[in-house]
Amino acid sequence: MEATLMHDLIWAVGAALAGGIIFALIGLISGTDETATIAPLTLLVILLGFPPAAVFAWFIAAAVSKHMTHAIPTALMGVPGDTMAVPMLKDCTILRRLGVPHIALRKMISGAILAAFVALPISVAFASLLAPFAEQVKSWAPIIFTIAALIIAYTSSGRWASVFTLIPFAFFIQGVNKMAIAGLGKGVFISIFLGIAIGPLFSDIVTILSPISRSHLLRKEKREFWLAPELKTWTGYFPNPLKVLSREQKIYTAIAAAISSLTFTFSPVGMTVMVGEIISSRVKSMYQRLTTSLAAMNGVTESTYIAETVIPLMAFGIPLSPMALGPAAPLFNAPPIYTTTPVVHNLHTLLAPWQFLVYGMIGIIVAFIVSYPFAMNYARKASVWVLQVVSQEAIISMFAGLIVVLAYYEAGIIGVAISITVAVFGGILNRYFGIHTGVQFMTYYASGWLMLTIFGIK
């Protein structure tokens, strides 16, 4: 028993270190989508046979670490680090123009790490409360997925377009899957998932290939980035996040993190905007208002990252949140190792509640040690390096390879064909009609039941 515990602990720390370091670097690249980066590498870790404890610690460290460093482009350049950073841009821009972008960064990442430590235990506790209903939820899963798909569709920016295309998209996905069954004798998951995740890239490629639409994306000049000058005002290497935040900021951040941990099915961006609004209306004096709302908003995106992963995973084992359908999807479904259908066999069944808490904490602590001082000390140098060395061509080159290799791994050339097919159509629906990847993933999970119920197609 003790030997297994030691084994798991060592694996967890090692995996968390790897995840923390890799994603601290990926986070520096502005605009990298969480789903497109975290999901494929997590899938790889699972397929390589990492033990469940290590997989979970890896994921938490990766998510926390990326979240930490993606605040750097957001604060220093006014370019959103990822989709969840968009609501914070306005406040960051004001602080940047007041000459204190480093303060924006510091408040954001200190809020984030505080929120992470608050969110994990609350999520685990809340998941334990929900666990008794797990059997019912699982037996109703297809219907819950369908209802959730309808709700997510209606609340997406595509609104009625998303609702309207729900059944056609389900038909399309199952049709593509039937092609895999016809060609290979088995259905596919990885290829479809990657196709949806990489969709926006392919919609851009199709747009640029057509003479009719090309002009939307063409530009004459290079893109200009504006970077704030160096302003280091503190000494030492390892700053204390609790000292960076004022008393009021600590309280607001902790409360916002705790509450947002309980709303695991809502949109993280929506929650972030709401918290920002509430704080803006309550906190007095502009400087205090800006810094407090930034700390709390970035805390909320962190806590929703954690809660939206931990709660559905621990309580139900089926992906019932935007995060679980995106970056965390492989923790639920990574055939042949983890599955949700016909039986749930994933971290839900492989880890006990205390293990979620312990290995999650290991993930957070390791990410904290790796990324927090890095972001505090080297934010500017690292941004300059990324901007001047890592071209967008190199990033897309890597992802093109990654997608093809993973799809080929699952289903050979048919897998590659399926990924590209789904990417082209899903990407266009996403880019031009606001039917985002969350809607598409949820529809995917509902599609089997929908086709059986509506058309009698098994």
Give the one residue of 185, 211, 229, 456 binding another protein; rule: CB under 8 A. Answer: 229
# chain residues binding another protein, by CB under 8 A: 63
The region of 164-172, 264-272, 281-289, 448-456 touching another protein under the rule CB under 8 A is 281-289
Nearer to another protein, 178 or 186 (CB): 186
Cα dihedral: 67, 69, 71, 72 (round 10): -170
Q: Looking at 139, 213, 240, 397, which residue binds another protein (CB under 8 A)?
A: 397
- The sign one gets for the Cα dihedral 373, 375, 380, 381 is positive
458 vs 456: CA distance, rounded Å: 6
User: Strand, coil or helix: what is 339?
Assistant: strand
Which residue number, 150 or 390, has a Cβ lying nearer to another protein?
Answer: 390
Distance CA 162, CA 180 (A): 26
Q: Which is nearer to another protein, 281 or 285 (CB)?
A: 285
Contact between 131 and another protein by CB under 8 A: the answer reads no
Residue closer to another protein, measured from CB, 94 or 269: 94
Encoding tokens for residue 20? Answer: 């923390």
Q: Using alpha carbons only, what angle is made at residue 390 by residues 387 and 394, rounded to the nearest 5 degrees?
A: 140
For another protein, the closer of residues 199 and 438 by Cβ is 199
Q: Which of 157, 39, 33, 29 is nearest to 83 (CA)?
A: 33
- Residue 86 interacts with another protein (CB under 8 A)? no
Q: How far is the CB of 218 from another protein (least distance, A)?
A: 5
Residue from the set 1, 222, 281, 342 that interacts with another protein by CB under 8 A: 222
Q: Per CB under 8 A, does 98 bind another protein?
A: yes
Chosen residue from 15, 54, 71, 103 binding another protein by CB under 8 A: 103
Q: What's the rounded Cα separation, in Å, for the pair 141 and 39?
A: 22
The smaller minimum CB distance to another protein, of residues 47 and 55, is found at 47
Count of Cβ atoms closer than 10 Å to residue 458 Cβ: 6
Query: What are the residues whose beta carbons fall under 8 Å from the beta carbon of 114, sequence distance 6 or more?
Result: 241, 242, 245, 250, 253, 254, 257, 295, 299
Summarize as ranges the residues that interact with another protein (CB under 8 A): 30-31, 44, 47-49, 94, 97-100, 103, 200-201, 204-205, 208, 214, 217-229, 233, 246-248, 284-288, 336, 384, 387-402, 404-406, 408-409
